[in-house]
Chains A and B, each alone.
Chain A
Amino acid sequence: MNGSTTSTVPDVIAAEASASVERKLARVPLVLSNRNFSWITERIAGVNEGAAPRWWWVTFSISSLVAAIGLFCLGYQISTGVGVWGLNHPVGWAWDITNFVFWIGIGHAGTLISAILFLLRQKWRTSINRAAEAMTLFAVICAAIFPGVHVGRVWMAWFLAPVPNNYGIWPNFRSPLLWDVFAVSTYFSVSVLFWYTGLIPDLGTLRDRAKGKLQKLLYGIFALGWRGSNRNWRHYEMAYLLLAGLSTPLVLSVHSVVSFDFATSVIPSWHTTIFPPYFVAGAIFGGFAMVLTLLIPARAIYKLHDIITPGHVDKMAKIILLTGTIVSYAYAMEFFIAWYSGNQFERYSFYNRIFGPYWWYWWVGMLFCNFVAPQLFWFKRFRFNIYIVYFVCMCVNAGMWFERFIIIVGGIHRDFLPSSWGMFHATWVDIWTFIGTFGIFMSLFLLFIRWLPMIAMSEVKIVLPEADPHHHATPEGHHPVAAGGMERTQ
Chain B
Amino acid sequence: MSDRSHVMPTPEGEYFETSRFAGLSMIAGVVAAIALVLCVVGALVNPQQFAYSWLFGFGVFFAICAGCFFWIIVHHAVDAEWSVVVRRQLENIASLFPLFLLFFIPIVLLRHHLYEWLVIPKGTDHLLDSKRAYLNLPFFIVRALIILTFFSVMAYLFRRISVAQDRDGNPAHTLRMRKLAIASLPLFGFSLTFGAVDWFMSLNYIWFSTMWGVYIFAGAAGSSMSLLILIITWLRNSGYLKDVVSIEHYHTMGKWLLAFTVFWAYIGFSQYMLIWYANIPEETEYFILRNVESWNLMSLLLVFGRFFFPFGLLLLRSTKKKVKTLCILAGWIIFMELVDIYVIILPELHRSGMHLSIWDFFPVIGIGATLLFFYLRLVGKTSLFPTRDPRLMESLRFQN
17 residue pairs A–B, Cβ–Cβ below 8 Å: A7-B11, A14-B170, A14-B388, A17-B170, A17-B171, A18-B172, A252-B266, A264-B273, A276-B267, A276-B270, A334-B210, A340-B197, A341-B208, A342-B130, A483-B174, A485-B393, A486-B394
Cβ of A326 to closest chain B Cβ, rounded Å: 8
B12 touches A264 (CB 8 A): no
B167, B174, B278, B394: which contacts A488 (Cβ < 8 A)?
Answer: B394
Q: Which residues of A contact B166 (CB under 8 A)?
A: 9
Beyond A274-B211, A339-B134, A486-B394, 5 extra complex contacts between A and B, CB < 8 Å:
A8-B11, A13-B168, A21-B175, A271-B274, A271-B280
Q: Which residues of A contact B274 (CB under 8 A)?
A: 260, 263-264, 271-273, 275-276
Q: Which residues of A contact B174 (CB under 8 A)?
A: 25, 483
Interface assignment of B387: CB less than 8 Å from any CB of chain A: yes
Alpha-carbon distance A22/B166, docked complex (angstroms): 17
Q: Which residue of A lies closest to B209 (CB)?
A: A273
Interface assignment of B213: CB less than 8 Å from any CB of chain A: yes
Interface assignment of B34: CB less than 8 Å from any CB of chain A: no
Q: Which residues of A contact B5 (CB under 8 A)?
A: 470
A264, A329, A342: which contacts B277 (Cβ < 8 A)?
Answer: A264
Cβ of B174 to closest chain A Cβ, rounded Å: 6
Cβ of B143 to closest chain A Cβ, rounded Å: 13
Which residues of B, 201-223, contact A by the 8 Å Cβ criterion? 208-214
Cβ of A391 to closest chain B Cβ, rounded Å: 22
Alpha-carbon distance A299/B134, docked complex (angstroms): 51
With contact pairs A8-B12, A24-B175, A25-B390 given, residues A273 and B127 touching in the complex (Cβ less than 8 Å): no
A contacts, CB < 8 Å to B = 1-4, 6-11, 13-14, 16-18, 21-22, 24-25, 121, 249, 252, 256, 260, 263-266, 271-277, 325, 329-330, 333-334, 337, 339-343, 378, 470, 483-486, 488
What sequence of 0s and 1s flags, for each residue 367-394 of chain B, a beta carbon within 8 Å of any chain A beta carbon?
0000000000000000000011010111
Interface assignment of B239: CB less than 8 Å from any CB of chain A: no
B278 touches A486 (CB 8 A): no
Of A256, A260, A342, A343, the most chain B CB neighbours within 10 A belong to: A342
A341 touches B282 (CB 8 A): yes
Interface assignment of B193: CB less than 8 Å from any CB of chain A: yes
Alpha-carbon distance A337/B277, docked complex (angstroms): 19
B contacts, CB < 8 Å to A = 5, 8-9, 11-12, 127-128, 130-131, 134, 166-172, 174-175, 182, 185-186, 189-190, 193, 197, 208-214, 262, 266-267, 270-271, 273-275, 277-280, 282, 387-388, 390, 392-394, 397, 400
With contact pairs A333-B213, A337-B210, A342-B131 given, residues A9 and B397 touching in the complex (Cβ less than 8 Å): no
A9, A18, A271, A334: which contacts B168 (Cβ < 8 A)?
Answer: A9
Cβ of B375 to closest chain A Cβ, rounded Å: 25
Alpha-carbon distance A330/B182, docked complex (angstroms): 19
A13 touches B270 (CB 8 A): no
A11 touches B271 (CB 8 A): no
Q: Which residues of B contact A470 (CB under 8 A)?
A: 5
Q: Which residues of A contact B171 (CB under 8 A)?
A: 14, 17, 21-22, 25, 483-484
B128, B131, B270: which contacts A277 (Cβ < 8 A)?
Answer: B270
Q: Which residues of B contact A14 (CB under 8 A)?
A: 168-171, 388
A10 touches B168 (CB 8 A): yes
Q: Which residue of B lies closest to A321 (CB)?
A: B182
Of B134, B279, B394, the most chain A CB neighbours within 10 A belong to: B394
Q: Which residue of A lies closest to B5 (CB)?
A: A470
B392 touches A1 (CB 8 A): yes
Q: Which residue of B lies closest to A470 (CB)?
A: B5
Alpha-carbon distance A488/B393, docked complex (angstroms): 11
With contact pairs A9-B388, A342-B130, A342-B131 given, residues A273 and B275 touching in the complex (Cβ less than 8 Å): yes
Alpha-carbon distance A249/B134, docked complex (angstroms): 37
Cβ of A340 to closest chain B Cβ, rounded Å: 6
B210 touches A343 (CB 8 A): no
Alpha-carbon distance A9/B388, docked complex (angstroms): 10
Alpha-carbon distance A288/B289, docked complex (angstroms): 42
With contact pairs A25-B175, A488-B394 given, residues A276 and B134 touching in the complex (Cβ less than 8 Å): no
Alpha-carbon distance A263/B271, docked complex (angstroms): 10
The 5 closest A-B pairs by CB, nearest first: A4-B11, A274-B210, A14-B169, A273-B211, A483-B390
Q: Which residue of B lies closest to A487 (CB)?
A: B394
B128, B169, B193: which contacts A333 (Cβ < 8 A)?
Answer: B193
Cβ of A471 to closest chain B Cβ, rounded Å: 13
Q: Which residues of B contact A1 (CB under 8 A)?
A: 9, 11, 169, 387-388, 392-393
Q: Which residues of A contact B170 (CB under 8 A)?
A: 13-14, 16-17, 21
A337 touches B209 (CB 8 A): yes
Q: Which residues of B contact A22 (CB under 8 A)?
A: 171
Alpha-carbon distance A325/B189, docked complex (angstroms): 10
With contact pairs A273-B210, A337-B209, A340-B208 given, residues A21 and B169 touching in the complex (Cβ less than 8 Å): no
Q: Which residues of A contact B280 (CB under 8 A)?
A: 266, 271
Cβ of B319 to closest chain A Cβ, rounded Å: 16
Alpha-carbon distance A252/B197, docked complex (angstroms): 25
With contact pairs A14-B170, A277-B214, A340-B131 given, residues A3 and B8 touching in the complex (Cβ less than 8 Å): yes
Q: Which residue of A lies closest to B172 (CB)?
A: A21
Q: Which residues of A contact B127 (CB under 8 A)?
A: 342
Cβ of B266 to closest chain A Cβ, rounded Å: 6
A265 touches B278 (CB 8 A): yes
Alpha-carbon distance A273/B229, docked complex (angstroms): 32
Cβ of A2 to closest chain B Cβ, rounded Å: 6
Q: Which residues of B contact A263 (CB under 8 A)?
A: 274, 278
Q: Which residue of B lies closest to A334 (CB)?
A: B210
Q: Which residues of A contact B190 (CB under 8 A)?
A: 329
Q: Which residues of B contact A488 (CB under 8 A)?
A: 394
Alpha-carbon distance A391/B93, docked complex (angstroms): 43
Alpha-carbon distance A122/B112, docked complex (angstroms): 51
Cβ of A484 to closest chain B Cβ, rounded Å: 5
Alpha-carbon distance A484/B189, docked complex (angstroms): 32
Q: Which residues of A contact B185 (CB under 8 A)?
A: 325
Cβ of B357 to closest chain A Cβ, rounded Å: 31
Q: Which residues of A contact B8 (CB under 8 A)?
A: 3
Alpha-carbon distance A431/B266, docked complex (angstroms): 36
With contact pairs A263-B274, A483-B171 given, residues A276 and B266 touching in the complex (Cβ less than 8 Å): yes
Cβ of A280 to closest chain B Cβ, rounded Å: 9
